[in-house]
Each structure stands twice: as C-alpha cells, then as structure tokens.
C-alpha cells in the first residue's frame, strides 16, 4: 500500500513510522523543507533508541527508513492509496488542502483526517467525492499508543470505512469506531477528568497536589488531572474543552473552567512554559498533598462517577459500542480500566445515587444522570456480563 502523510510534525511523522513499519511505502508532505529535515532526523533518533533497547536491529531500521520519502509538493502524493492529513486544527485550511489533494489522487484513494475535534462531515464536504473521506484519529505518540479512532462521516461509504478499519488493524492498532460527534470518544468522555477536578479546586475542597494524589492513589491513574494538563499544555487542553463545549451547543457538562482560562492567559501552560499548575523551574519543590483518606475518597468518587456518566451517555447516544468506549479509554489515554467496566464493579445503583446526590446539592445540569444509567438501574442490568 502507498500512503501519503500531509504534515511532518510529531503526529504526522509518528503515523508515517507506523505505516512504514507495517511495510507501506510512505511519502511525507510538508511545505517547509526544514520541517521535513526535522522529521527525518527525528525518525533517525527514534529508530536508534529502538536499536539500543533491542526492539529492532540495524536491518529493520534501514527497512523502515527506506519505506519513507519526503516531498514538498502535494502533487507527489498522487499515487497514494490512502492519505492521512495531520496539520493544524483549522477547518478552512483542511478543506482547502483536501480540495487540492483530490485533484491529484485517483478516484479510489481514501482521503483521511487525523483531526481530534473537527467535524468529519464538514471536512468531507470539501471533496467532489465525499464518500472517500473518513476520520482516522491517532493518539500521541502514534507509534506507542495502541488506539486509533476511526470516524465515518455521514457521507462515508461502507467500503471506505471497512478498508480504513482493516488497514489500521493491519498496522497492529486497536480500532474504535466512533460516531462523528464532537470529541469522538476519548476527547468527549475524558472531559470530566479535567473539568470536575478543576471544579473541586475552585470550590476550595483541595489543592492541585491533593487532587492529583487522590486520583493516582485510589484510582490508579498514571498521572493526576493537573499533572496531565501541564503535560498536554493548558492552552491546548483549554481549547479542546472550549471547542467541545461550543460544539455541544453550550451543554453545561462541558463548561470550561475560569481557572484554566486564567492560567492559559497568564502563559502558565505547563511543562513547555516552565510553569503551570506546578513549577517546573530548576530547583522548584513540588507541593506536598494533604493525604486525608476521606477527602481522597470524596475526590475520587466524584471524578470517577462523572467519567462513568459521560461514558454511559456516549453509549446511550450511539457514539460507539460499549467495548469500543472502554478500549478507547484504556488504550487511548491509559486509564487503569474501562469506565463502563468500572461502573459494573462499583454498581449501577452506586453511580445513579452519587449523581443524584450531586444534582440535588447543586441543581446544575452538569450533574444530570444519563438516562441509560437510570434505566439500567431500574431494570437491574449491567454493561458487561
């Protein structure tokens, strides 16, 4: 298979590595030669590290490198069977690139976008043959993260969806098929991990370090929400939240937090700026959490039930299957277990009671219980047998 990658940044280069490793002939396109040079050097370093770790040998390294070429003309992708775009999250720019690309590729070439938040239907509408368009959303770093969300637009043909799904499976990735709704699976379902943590902080219940400690110690999360927001970048995470909030017609469940907005405005972006919710400057001392077990349980339960509620609602609205939702959260963002599996373990009645208690306390729509959870509780059902 011949694969064209549009954009030679971290994500585009990572996807190219995945495809080349699987034996595809890959061309990476970028308008800037220095970006292409950087991508080539980055791949050299990555493969060198894999040799040191004993994951590949020199022959395999040369095979992967030999499968990738670097081009600065979009027309050079004309012989591709599949193209994947991984450029700036700007709908107008993507549409312009797709419209031009279509004039060069064959009629049966699949044109895919790696967008994490934009409508696939809107992107597909820029094409003369919109049925060839599909979302193929990798997670960073693409070579390491197992999950890929495949998102058909309403225009996408069944044949294109099947081919895209099979190709990604052949690349040894776990596929989760998602409905073309804001945030797809992961960026929708994960919102409460950040949003409810920020709300707990804004209410003065606990500081950043204590909230992070509670989620890691009781929940088994690898990083707490504030550590993770600092890692992602507060500007990036805030923009995704704002995008999902707007796309859902300002549903209160996705309402951004003023704390994150102010940190972004102040330039406290996290690790990349040297300061976020934590100070990353040399010699800085990380704050000590308040290790109160009762407080930790309150924090953990509140964040977990909000995550479960979001996962249940995604299932209720046919965004994805229960299995794909759980796979998305464990393999896309490394959650310790699937949220719907967690709901079964905690008990559906426990979930409904926790949500109703918060709703009765706050009378805010953000705490409304998913109709699916309420129905399952009434009927004594669980998500998995």
Q: Please, are residues 304 and 227 in contact by the beta-carbon 8 Å criterion?
A: no
Q: Is 149 a catalytic residue?
A: yes
Catalytic residue among 85, 114, 137, 227: 137
Selected catalytic residue, list 80, 187, 234, 309:
187
Dist CA 52 CA 54 (whole Å):
5
- Tell me the sheet residues that pair with 150: 136, 177
**Is residue 131 annotated as a catalytic residue, yes or no?**
no
- Under a CB-based contact definition with an 8 Å cutoff, are residues 313 and 372 in contact? yes
Q: Select which of 8, 113, 117, 149 is catalytic.
A: 149
275-310 burial: b if 16+ Cβ within 10 Å, else e: bbbbeeeeeeeeeebeeeeebbeebbbbbbbbbbbb
Residue 335: CB atoms within 10 Å:
23
Does the annotation mark 116 as catalytic?
A: yes
Which bin fits 274, alpha (ψ -120 to 50), beta or left (φ > 0)?
left
Residue 187 a catalytic site member: yes
Pair 83, 114: CB distance under 8 Å = no
Residues designated catalytic: 116, 137, 149, 187
């Amino acid at each position: 298979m011949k694969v064209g990658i549009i954009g030679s940044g971290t994500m585009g280069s990572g996807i190219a590595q995945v495809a080349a490793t699987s034996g595809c002939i890959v061309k990476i396109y970028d308008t800037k030669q220095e970006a292409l040079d950087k991508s080539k050097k980055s791949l050299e370093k990555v493969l060198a590290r894999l040799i040191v770790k004993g994951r590949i040998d020199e022959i395999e390294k040369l095979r992967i490198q030999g499968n990738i070429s670097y081009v600065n003309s979009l027309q050079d992708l004309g012989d591709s069977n599949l193209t994947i775009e991984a450029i700036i999250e700007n709908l107008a720019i993507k549409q312009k690139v797709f419209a031009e690309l279509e004039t060069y590729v064959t009629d049966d070439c699949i044109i895919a976008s790696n967008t994490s938040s934009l409508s696939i239907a809107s992107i597909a509408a820029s094409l003369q043959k919109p049925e060839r368009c599909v979302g193929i959303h990798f997670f960073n770093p693409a070579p390491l993260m197992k999950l890929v969300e495949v998102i058909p637009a309403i225009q996408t043909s069944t044949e294109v969806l099947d081919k895209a799904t099979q190709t990604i499976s052949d690349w040894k990735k776990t596929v989760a098929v998602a409905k073309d709704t804001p945030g797809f699976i992961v960026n929708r379902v994960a919102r409460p991990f950040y949003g409810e943590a920020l709300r707990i902080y804004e209410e003065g219940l606990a500081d950043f370090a204590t909230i992070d400690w509670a989620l890691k110690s009781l929940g088994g999360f690898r990083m707490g929400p504030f550590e993770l927001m600092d890692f992602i970048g507060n500007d990036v995470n805030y923009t995704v939240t704002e995008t999902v909030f707007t796309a859902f017609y300002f549903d209160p469940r996705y309402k951004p937090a003023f704390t994150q907005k102010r940190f972004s405005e102040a330039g406290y972006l996290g690790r990349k700026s040297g300061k976020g919710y934590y100070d990353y400057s040399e010699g800085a001392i990380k704050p000590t959490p308040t290790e109160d077990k009762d407080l930790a349980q309150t924090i953990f339960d509140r964040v977990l039930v909000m995550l479960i509620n979001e996962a249940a609602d995604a299932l209720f609205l046919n965004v994805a299957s229960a299995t794909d939702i759980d796979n998305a959260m464990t393999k896309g963002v490394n959650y310790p277990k699937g949220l719907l599996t967690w709901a079964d373990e905690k008990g559906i009645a426990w979930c409904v009671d926790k949500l109703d208690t918060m709703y009765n306390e706050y009378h805010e729509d953000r705490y409304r219980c998913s109709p699916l959870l309420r129905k399952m509780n009434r009927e004594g059902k669980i998500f998995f047998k």
